[in-house]
Chains A and B, each alone.
Chain A
Amino acid sequence: MREITGYVGKPLLRREDRRLLHGEGQFVGDIVLPKMVHCAFVRSQVPHARIKGVDFAAARRAPGFVTALSGRDIRNVVTPIAGMQVSIPKGWRDRFHYHIDVPAQQILADDKVNYVGEAYAVVVAEDRYKAEDAAELVEPDFEVLEPVVDVDRALKPGSPVLHAEVGSNVISVMSTKKGDGAAALARAKHRIKRRYYHHRYAAMPMECRAVVADYDIRTDSLTVWSSTQVVHWIRKEIGSILGMPEERVRVIAPDVGGGFGGKGHVYPEDVLVPYLARTLRRPIKYVEDRFEHLVNSAHARDNFHDLEIGFDDDGKIVCIVDDFVIDSGAYSPVGATCAANSIAHLLGPYDIQNYEAKGTLVATNKTSNAPYRGAGRPEAAFAMERAIDIAANSIGLDPILMRLRNMVPPERLPFSVGLPYRDGVPITYDSGDYPQALRRAVEELGGLENFRRRQAEGLAAGRYLGIGVGCYVEGTGVGPFEGASVRLDPSGKIMVAVGANNHGQGHETVFAQVAADVWNVPIDQVVVTTADTAAVPMGYGTIASRSTVTAGSAVVHASAKVKDKVLAIAANMLETPTADLEFRDGAVGVKGVPDLKVTLKEIWWASRPGWDHKRPPDMEAGLEANHYYEPPTVTWSYATNAAIVELDPDTGRVTVEKFVAVHDAGILVNPLLADGQVRGGLVQGIGAALYEEIAYDENGQILMGTLADYLLPTADDTPPITVIHQEIPSPSNPLGVKGLGEGGAIAPPCAITNAVSDALRPFKAEFNATPVRWEQVRKVFAEAGVSTPRGRG
């Protein structure tokens, strides 16, 4: 008999690939239903205006016109999604001073538009071309208002206020502390304060958002396909806003072309398109185009951190005091989460006794700001890691050595930080070796001493090399819960469904690996369903680096419930005590007797309800179980990123010579896929550091309308990258795993800005804002008189 031991830990190739490589994947835009109509949204071209009226007269005469609605038409019918889409537990509220007053966004703007791109009307027509034609004919009557274009002006007395119901542009404030930051600062031998700005950019998945909805009048039910990370959230909002039992709303995310957080909350279109399907009694499709994605799908980051670091002569950090502001844009569907994350993660892998942090969310007339891969962590890491470099340089200590002096050593783990996580539980770094990650990263770059020698030699020859690191810790696998449903099929297959949503991670492969091991079956005997509310009664979704931890654990627990019954039935069939039985190769057999077994298929038939079953007396029929895994708290991933850059004095060009990430996500269920997740995140982070930017002009007009303006990194822009996995198991869940979806994107901005600043140390230049622009680098050289005449020209 073939011995099956362990799919977990193997670099299995993905199940998802075959259909995607043959063009047989099914994305929302690919769905075609009989009698389907199409919609186009009419979006504001001005950042701030009062809507006096919307004229559909010309649009109604357009060929193929079906219907059109303005915000006023649906004001009392389709009510807004709650402003803040996530809940906050008591354990967090008790330790924070806060007020969260996030305004709700109308499904279609009815009174005011608050950013360029906000929809105030929708037009439905027989095809997409006709819908866009008709949408162009919609005439708004706007009273243009003064826009609030940046947070400084938003906070000034007399500024226009976006949301009258909030009363000011401050939509959330939160703060916490440990030790005594102010007193410790006063005592500190050295203190340095700077403003660190992490700029505005966005998730930018290659597939834009899309929604198809189909209403069935016989059952008064809706089926909705959305390109989303959170099908169960969408079901909840549709159910409550449209007044339907959630059981009558099925939301499916089919193949999804990337999410990265940008599809991690409910958008107005997710509710309005189903509403239209129900109203029109016809299937309806909406596919966002790239311009709409740039102006309307959530942006991210855009934080100013005024951070002061206090430290002694040896470089020991004694306190951090941080006061930061997030430019939230017009709404902030999950935005307070980013602020809470920044506060929880700012201290990173360091042992710092005194800490005060305060975050303020400010509304401006820009596109809404929501979590994107990292969600408050890249911003915090950027402020902290730049501060350490500046502090170290000020006392002549190498920044890498200063980090090693402050890191929590492995022997002090589990380490209690003294702050609550956003799940309300006190933060405990549970496993890892932070100094080792830093040392390995620097070694992989050739070692610090070697580099400093190379740097000095280069400088003498007019070459500008710099080294930079970025270290962080990341709470992963956050609750509140994730659902899994496991059941045995009459064919003997293990049917697994999870509330986690697959948008490129390879969940169908990963959860098959987990289930195959739990059941000791060949992996082909496991069938995995993701992102379908009909398959799992309650689910949460794929956000916050949590699916392997939470859905994986849910699969383990749900399986255990079914396995208990399977074992009892097998014991009855084999007339052998359960203690003498084992799961092996798709069957349950008697230990030590290879031929004595019953297959899972036979066990299913023995278990079925009705006549002639072979269940033990009093056992209920059915081999199926749901489990809702509620993690006790998060488990802590971490990494060090390190980069060597070279700067061109003539052009300011930043070339990343080599990039290294030493990452610990505990046990890797599939090392091939884990590596792909980290690498993909790193390149997004490198894009953030050097290329990607969403800018607005002084009138509040967005300057990025195509991917020719918003520069995503290409293969040519990607430096040589080495990824090293430490794989120190998590003690916090049954699989020993930690999350890794977001980690890659957290530290490249700080590693690269630190490296650029390091290369420019001869000129005492500090890069305390992202992105690093070539022209800024060149300006440093020009002012120092270093660029060649050609370069200066």
Chain B
Amino acid sequence: MTAPRKITLTINGTVRSAEAEPRMLLADFIRETLGLTGTHVGCEHGVCGACTIIVNGEAQRSCLAFAVQADGATITTIEGLAASDRMHPLQKLFHECHALQCGFCTPGMLAAALDLVGSHDRLTTEEIRTGMSAVICRCTGYDGIMRAVTAYADQLGKLAPAKG
């Protein structure tokens, strides 16, 4: 049961195959086996959200999944948002809004925000605040993050007026 299995997945647009023990966490597989260290592990228990990635179009904690469960999946990590010399609109807004300090939670924040805004037609700032509570930031106090994600929703024409 513990013999390594071959895993094939599409990550940031590239098909990659590698072996992993069944117990290997998806986060460790991405970081150590595939060498994509942009995904960070903050708590190993699915609480902090730093390891959040996009799996088959949805945000997922990569520390709560085994690599074998991602066999055949399509994954986007922070490295896949834009080429190094360019910026995804959300990355640009995080930069402009000072939405990061140490940058450790940032991969998870970006993934959570992409999923949140991508999966809704309309979002109020309250809903964005609640949605972004999926990831913990210890540095910023969330002000810049809220401004960045709100502006991103606005850019996509999805920002709804506040309720009440």
Contacts and interface: CB of A to CB of B under 8 A. Distances in A.
A260 B136 CA distance: 16
A412 B14 CA distance: 68
B100 interface: yes
Contacts of B82: 22
B39 A707 contact: no
A707 B44 CA distance: 9
Q: Interface centre among B35, B36, B39, B106, by most A CB within 10 Å? A: B106
A680 to B, nearest CB: 5
Contacts of B101: 258, 504-506, 676, 680
A394 B45 CA distance: 48
Interface residues of B, number: 56
A718 interface: yes
B75 interface: no
Nearest to A706: B45
Nearest to B108: A206
A208 to B, nearest CB: 8
A504 B87 contact: no
**Interface-centre pick from B50, B94, B103 (highest chain A CB count, 10 A):** B103
A206 B104 contact: yes
A715 B150 CA distance: 13
A23 B43 contact: no
A88 interface: no
A209 B110 CA distance: 23
Interface string B127-143: 00110110011111111
Interface in B2-51: 21, 23-24, 28, 31-32, 35-45, 47-48, 50
Contacts of B103: 16-17, 20-21, 25, 255, 257, 504
B127 to A, nearest CB: 11
B81 A22 contact: yes
B117 to A, nearest CB: 14
A17 to B, nearest CB: 5
Give chain A's interface residue range (CB within 8 Å of chain B): 35 or more
A364 interface: no
B60 interface: no
A706 B130 CA distance: 22
Given A714-B136, A718-B141, A20 B100 contact: yes
B104 A258 contact: yes
Interface string A574-603: 000000000000000000000000000000
Given A256-B102, A504-B103, A290 B141 contact: no
A503 B102 contact: yes
Nearest to B128: A715
A368 B8 CA distance: 46
A680 B136 CA distance: 12
A720 B141 CA distance: 11
Contact of A258 (B36, B98, B139): B139
Nearest to B106: A20
A40 to B, nearest CB: 14
B39 to A, nearest CB: 7
A718 B129 CA distance: 9
B40 A207 contact: yes
Question: Is chain B's binding surface mostly helix, strand, loop or mixed?
Answer: loop
B73 to A, nearest CB: 18
B100 A17 contact: yes
A715 B145 contact: yes
A714 B135 CA distance: 7
Nearest to B144: A676
B136 A707 contact: yes
A736 to B, nearest CB: 23
B130 to A, nearest CB: 5
A257 B109 CA distance: 14
A708 interface: yes
B52 interface: no
A205 B138 contact: yes
Contacts of A207: 40, 42, 102, 104
B68 interface: no
Contacts of A20: 100, 103, 106
B105 interface: yes
Which of B35, B78, B142 lies at the interface centre, i.e. has the most chain A CB atoms within 10 A of its CB? B142
Nearest to A673: B98
Given A13-B98, A17-B95, A676-B140, A23 B39 contact: yes
Interface string A1-37: 0000000000001101110111111110110100000
Interface in A693-742: 706-708, 712, 714-718, 721
A683 B142 contact: yes
B42 to A, nearest CB: 5
Given A206-B50, A706-B47, A29 B98 contact: no
A29 B40 CA distance: 9
B100 A21 contact: yes
Given A708-B47, A712-B136, A680 B79 contact: no
A289 interface: yes
A675 B43 CA distance: 28
B129 A716 contact: yes
A211 interface: no
A621 interface: no
Contacts of A683: 140-142
A121 B35 CA distance: 30
Contact of A257 (B81, B104, B140): B104
A208 B41 CA distance: 9
A422 to B, nearest CB: 27
A206 B109 CA distance: 13
B96 interface: yes
Contacts of A763: none
Contacts of A673: 98
B18 to A, nearest CB: 14
Contact of B138 (A17, A682, A712, A721): A712
A716 B133 CA distance: 6
B77 interface: yes
A679 B91 contact: no
B146 interface: yes
Contact of B44 (A206, A290, A679, A682): A290
A254 to B, nearest CB: 11
A24 B106 CA distance: 12
A129 B23 contact: yes
Most A CB within 10 A of own CB, among B79, B87, B98, B105: B98
Contact of B141 (A506, A682, A707): A682
A27 B139 contact: no
Contact of A290 (B28, B43, B96, B145): B43
B138 A23 contact: no
Contacts of B133: 714-717
A14 B45 contact: no
A133 to B, nearest CB: 10
B112 to A, nearest CB: 10
B38 A206 contact: no
B101 to A, nearest CB: 4
A672 interface: yes
Contacts of A17: 94-95, 100, 103
A204 interface: yes
Contacts of A718: 141-142
B116 to A, nearest CB: 11
Given A27-B40, A129-B23, A206-B42, A22 B78 contact: yes
Contacts of B91: 21-22
Contacts of B146: 715
Contacts of B36: 23
A21 B94 contact: yes
B106 A21 contact: yes
Given A676-B141, A681-B141, 5 more contacts: A27-B40, A206-B139, A257-B103, A290-B48, A715-B137
18 contacts: A13-B96, A14-B95, A18-B84, A18-B87, A20-B100, A20-B106, A22-B81, A22-B82, A23-B77, A23-B107, A206-B40, A206-B139, A257-B103, A676-B140, A707-B48, A714-B142, A715-B130, A716-B130
The 9 closest A-B pairs by CB, nearest first: A23-B38, A257-B104, A20-B103, A504-B102, A504-B101, A683-B141, A23-B78, A30-B37, A679-B141
